[in-house]
Structure 1
Amino acid sequence: MSNLATLNTADSLSGISTRQIEESLERANDAYRNTDDSIISDSDYDALIDELARRDPGHALLTEVESEADFGAGKVRHQIPMLSTEKVKTDSELSAWVRRVESAAQNIGIRTPVLLSVTAKLDGMAGRLKDGVLASRGDGLTGNNITHILPKLVVHGVGDGELVMIQSYFDEHLSEEFKHPRNVVTGAVGADTPRPAAMKALNDHSIHFVSFTTLTRIDSRTDTIVAQLPEIREYLLGNTPYPTDGLVLAVESPELRKELGSTGHHHNWMVAAKTVGETATTAVVGVQWQIGKTGRLTPVIQLKKVTLSGAVIANVTGHNAGKVEEMGIDVGAMATITRSGEIIPFLVSATPAPNGASLPTHCPACTEHLKRRGDFLVCINNECEGRRHARLHHFFNIIGSIDLFGPVACDKLIAAGVRSIQEVFAITAAEFEAMGFGPGQSANLVAELEAAKTRPVDDFRVLAAMGISNLGRGDSKKLLRHTALKDIPF
């Protein structure tokens, strides 16, 4: 099998409770659909879904369309439900779907093989444009009215489709600020106050609404689709200017579609063939440990450079200490990587280093002795310089409305002894210069901070920027539906 994902991570999930899987999926769904950030790779998300399906095939997360936050100009009731798409990741899963299709065809007297259509699976935000009204998918039955952004979009057709960004625009302008083009689209459409970069993307007409009816399609049949899929995939994805996440296979016959029917989650006459992408195996030359705002250490696996899907890859995340330890990752290990969605480097597997993994015992930033909490190594020193830097950078990144304060600027602030956001807002131009900023840059920093005091900022961003453990933008929105920001003690 060359074109579909074969990764089986069920063994690595065996120690996680079903409730933990539910909570992880709920948080990931919220971030994926309601914020301009992602908290989990597509491959990890699919692994959690597969494990939940193995344990509880009838679970609501598998049988219902995920919920969506409220945004836009009210609600739109879908006359025909907008459902999700069932995924297949192996040739055997695809063959099983083909058998179900052919069995249903025979039940109603349709001759086999059955005609199928294949299109690229766009990776953006699902929507429906009907009678001049653009609505998000929502929960499948009711979506958000987002017609107000139509003048900013390039529109290709009507009906069901996807709001997507031109991949080349993202690569050139936004790849350092956002993890994925989908995050830009979600932020531009769903945020009360989108980031300036997302608004610029809208104004540059780099976000399109693409009706599925306008996509290039290739016809195939149930008796040849498995063998043809690699060639079809190469052609379709190579000629699509938008981010993609595999292929969509659909039955063409209206009568057979009716016979196959739908669940509350997906149509049985359609599947998404998810791709793991090209893989490469290379040597591990080091492991660098980065500290986050809450003190957790994240391992960055340093690789002997390798070209993968047209990009040179030198680093990939190791996620946490538990995973590094389990996979035996250290100098001398061999790592197999892919690019999730053809974009994000992702660790698939590893041949362990001769002596296994060697985990750090002290914080790389402050040398404090590390604590082990589950799969994570944690620095508990609240005054750790690395944690203070991460908190400062996190604040500016999440607030999203204050420019000029990137990682390098945060480095200088922390080196100068700055300990809080309140202190940053009190710094004068002369003090910025003393920290190593140039005269013009210092004046610009002061002006930017003054301007930021009068810019409107979403309450959920303020709350999420505080760096409270496990309280991201999605959960902040939920909390603020019940409690006003002014009533939350900090």
Structure 2
Amino acid sequence: MSEIKLNAAQIELIKTLDLSLTVSQLETLYQQDELGKEDLITLLKVSNAAYRAGFPIIDDASYDAYHKQLQNVDPDNEFLAEVEPEVVVEGKTVTLPERMLSTDKAYSFDEIKRWINRILKAAEQLNIADDEIQIRVTPKLDGYAAYDDGERLYTRGDGYRGQDISRAFDRGLQVAGDAGRGLGPGEIVISQSYFNQVLSEHFENSRNIQAAIIAEKKVDENVQKAIDDGACVFYPFRALNNWTGSVEQLLTDFDEILASLWTAVDYDIDGLILETTHEMIKNHMGATRKFHRWQIAYKINAETADVEVIKVVPQTSRTGRVSPVAELVPTKLSGATLSRATVHHYNMVKSNGVGPGAIVRLVRSGLVIPKIEEVITPAKAELPEFCPSCETHLIWEADHLMCPNKTDCPAQTENTLIHFFKTLGNVDGFGPKVIEKISAHGIKHIHQIYQLTKEDFVAYGFGDKTSQNLIDQLAASRSIAIEDWRFLAAFGVSRLGAGNCERLLEHHSLADIFDVTVADMVQIDGFAQLSAEAIVEGLTNIKNEFFKVYQLGFNLTATEKLTAGGPSDSAIAGKTIVFTGSMQQGSRADMEKQAKLLGAKVAKSVSGKTDYLVTGDKVGANKINAARDKGVEVISEAEYLDLIAS
């Protein structure tokens, strides 16, 4: 195996596993060919924990190779019978309504045929005819395993005991396809297309998000929006698209079944699940402590090739992220000639030496897009300083190089226009298709849209009635009251989402924020040095366009300023509060805003760190009891009002 260097996120996770090894010793362990059973178990536990938490160290095939090695060294080892746990660091464990096991794996059609023969043998022992046997095949979702009994949602844990993560439903997590609650085992997953279009600039992979959805701490605002948009769902296995047919049909049409189900859902999958539907056979075959014998997962062996990099070309996406694309010596892999592959981000280019002359291992599994799995021979990396689309100086944001020029970068302008109207949220009509049509006629800036006439829209191909409606919507967007923080967030400055906009405007007026320095910004709670630097540079880039739009006369509601000394004197200063139910005094949003002004921290879900759960009308007893079990003080709206009045 090539050299492995653990990143910061992996190191932080490993610290929670209470290992006796140092980081360097663990990295060295991954390089060794001959390993004893204790070392193998350590690597399997660490690799599983990192994978489940969204920071994988090795790929599936390498993990299975370690697993096979342990079987050869110590076939009766207790670890081999254990279910690989979904890792959640915080929370109490509870008994699952029923056992949740792992799934045995097959990597070849011959292994599938051997599994089918075991099914047929069981049927023969039960005097069941072959034509009575049905096999159900579904996509194998690559998500976060969970169990929904209709009242609670549980992690899989060790297969016997998991953790109550019902808070995910409290946050708005939906069941896929409106399938309803209580359908048992499934996976928490996120839409591939949504991840690629919206979240890939914030998260390296979808597993980071799956873990964030169920975390006990406050949910990242980007993840919460994905939940609100219905992109994150709990997908019960019983509701999955499936092929069901006879053994003969399965063996005859296996490749066609594989191809059809591989693209059946808009979620990450890493294989297929095959199982017999015959209850007598299932009961007869039973399970080991780890697997159901009547079920198997088919995973495709990835083909690889070592390829030379010719050069790395930067490409600016609509979100401003500059993605490195490696141009390769043309190589045939899995039946296709490949000459380009996307490198995940420029930190990978920099840290791994992906440059001209580097030798990289290219992997392509089944229908999956080819990717660079590892760098075999590094070379000098070439990092761009300026955006290839607009020549703006690039900035680092986590692992990514970003173009901060949201308003004048040709690669970003269309997305900037879409983001503006979507974030304002006070009018309809200016969705992606309308913006695409307008952009095709040379409209690249927000203020230009507001200068358009009805005749312009007609000339662009819109109908007379639609054109008038668009003009009316533009007028409405200026007259309908919106918060100033929402208006600022609509310009899409990197690291300046809605939450940061509100925090910034609690200290500075909207017209003055362009004069705020990095030193000023880091004095505000929630702004770190790197974020402040990126925000200040981003604000500089949008300044001209911002004031052209601002001067159009929007009806903006100013954010209330935090006053020195006021909040710290309140009874809830520094306390963490969750509001739930229907409030009488005003909307929950208004109460949350008031609580922040009084110095409280407002959370969306209850955790062990919550001080008060403030309950309005129509709050379930289960939610209240769960909060009390965590030591949270539950108070009514009236009691809360008395508290802050004091």
Q: Scaled by the length of structure 1, what TM-score is found? A: 0.60
Kindly report which structure 2 residues correspond to 1:149-228, keeping only aligned pairs within 5 A, or say none.
149-151=168-170, 152-156=172-176, 157=179, 158-228=183-253
Q: How far has the Cα of 1:50 moved from its partner?
A: 2.9
Q: Which residue number corresponds to residue 342 of structure 1? A: 368
**Does the 8 A contact of 1:31 with 1:37 survive in 2?**
yes
Partner AA of 2:309 in structure 1: V
Q: CA deviation at 1:27?
A: 0.7
Q: Among 28, 42, 67, which residue is 1:49 paired with? A: 67
User: Distance in 1 between the 2:401 and 2:306 partners?
Assistant: 34
1:88 to 94, 102, 106: 106
Greater Cα offset, 112-121 or 138-147: 112-121
- Specify which of 132, 145, 149 is matched with residue 164 of structure 2: 145
Preserved CA contact (<8 Å) 2:310 2:326: yes
The corresponding residue for 1:230 is 255
* 1:402-445 CA-partner distances (Å, limit 9, x unpaired): x98535799xxxxxxxxxxxxxxxxxxxxxxxxxxx96673675
Question: 3-state SS of the aligned residue for 2:98?
Answer: coil
Distance in 1 (CA, whole Å) between partners of 2:517 and 2:148 is 46
Asked if structure 1 preserves the Cα contact closer than 8 Å seen for 2:328 and 2:340, the reply is no
Structure 1 position 104 matched with structure 2 position 132: no
Across the aligned residues of Structure 1 and Structure 2, the Cα RMSD in angstroms comes to 4.3
Partner residue of 2:93? Answer: 75
Offset of 1:224 from its aligned partner? 4.2
1:79 CA drift (Å): 3.2
Deviation at 1:55, TM superposition (A): 3.1
Contact 1:154 1:209 in 2 (8 A): yes
Aligned partners of 2:326 and 2:341 also within 8 Å? no
Q: Name the SS for the 1:85 alignment partner.
A: coil
| Structure 1 or 2: more strand by fraction | 1
1:9-48 residue CA offsets vs partner (Å, 9 max, x unmatched): xxx9743443332212101211233x34222222322332
C-alpha distance 217-272 of structure 1, shift in aligned 2 (>3 A): same
Partner of 1:406: 398
For residues 359 and 36 of structure 1, what CA distance do their matches in structure 2 show? 26
Letter in 1 for 2:328: K
Q: How many residues align?
A: 351
How far, CA to CA, are the matches of 1:452 and 1:334 in structure 2?
36
1:182–1:444 distance in 2 versus 1, CA, 3 Å:
farther
Which of the numbers 341, 345, 348 marks the counterpart of 1:313?
341
**What secondary structure, in the 3-state scheme, does the structure 2 residue paired with 1:161 have?**
strand
CA contact (8 A) 1:245 1:341 kept: no
Which ranges of structure 1 fall in alignment gaps of 5 or more residues? 1-11, 289-299, 325-329, 351-356, 366-402, 411-437, 457-490
C-alpha distance in 1 between matches for 2:300 and 2:357 = 29
Task: Tell me, in whole angstroms, the C-alpha distance in 1 between the residues paired with 2:229 and 2:520.
Answer: 26
Please list the CA deviations of residues 126-171 of structure 1 after superposition, one character each: whole Å capped at 9, or x if unmatched: 1111132111111111111111221411113322111111111111
Whether the aligned pair in 1 keeps the contact of 2:86 and 2:144 (CA below 8 Å) is: no
State whether residues 72 and 146 of structure 1, in contact with CA within 8 Å, keep that contact through their aligned partners in structure 2: no
Q: How much has 1:339 moved relative to structure 2?
A: 5.1
CA separation of 1:281 and 1:405: change in aligned 2, threshold 3 A: closer
Percentage of matched positions with identical amino acids: 26
Partners in 2 of 1:110 and 1:257 — Cα distance?
Answer: 12
In the alignment, structure 2 segments of 5+ residues that lack a partner are 1-30, 313-323, 382-394, 403-513, 530-573, 575-600, 603-646
Q: CA deviation at 1:210?
A: 1.0
**More contact order relative to length (CA 8 Å, sep ≥ 6):** 1
Residue identity opposite 1:59 in structure 2? N
> Counterparts of 1:285-434 in structure 2 under 5 Å?
285=309, 304=328, 312-315=340-343, 331=357, 335-338=361-364, 342=368, 345=371, 347=373, 406=398
Mapped to 1, the partners of 2:265 and 2:202 lie a distance apart of: 23
- Over 3 Å counting, the alpha-carbon distance change for 1:55 and 1:132 in structure 2 is same
Instruction: Specify the structure having the higher radius of gyration (Cα).
Output: 2
**Partner residue of 1:252 out of 277, 289, 296:** 277
Q: Matched residues in 2 for 1:181 and 1:442: separation? A: 32
Query: Does the CA-based 8 Å contact 1:174-1:197 persist in structure 2?
Result: yes
Following TM superposition, by how much is the alpha carbon of 1:192 offset from its aligned partner in structure 2, in angstroms?
2.8
Of residues 46, 57, 61, the one that matches 2:79 is: 61
Kindly report which structure 2 residues correspond to 1:434-473, keeping only aligned pairs within 5 A, or say none: 442=518, 446=522, 451=527
> Match for residue 154 of structure 2?
135
What is the rounded CA distance, in whole Å, between the counterparts of 2:88 and 2:522 in structure 1?
Answer: 36
Indicate how the Cα distance of structure 1 residues 311 and 267 shifts in structure 2: closer, same or farther if over 3 A, else same.
Answer: farther
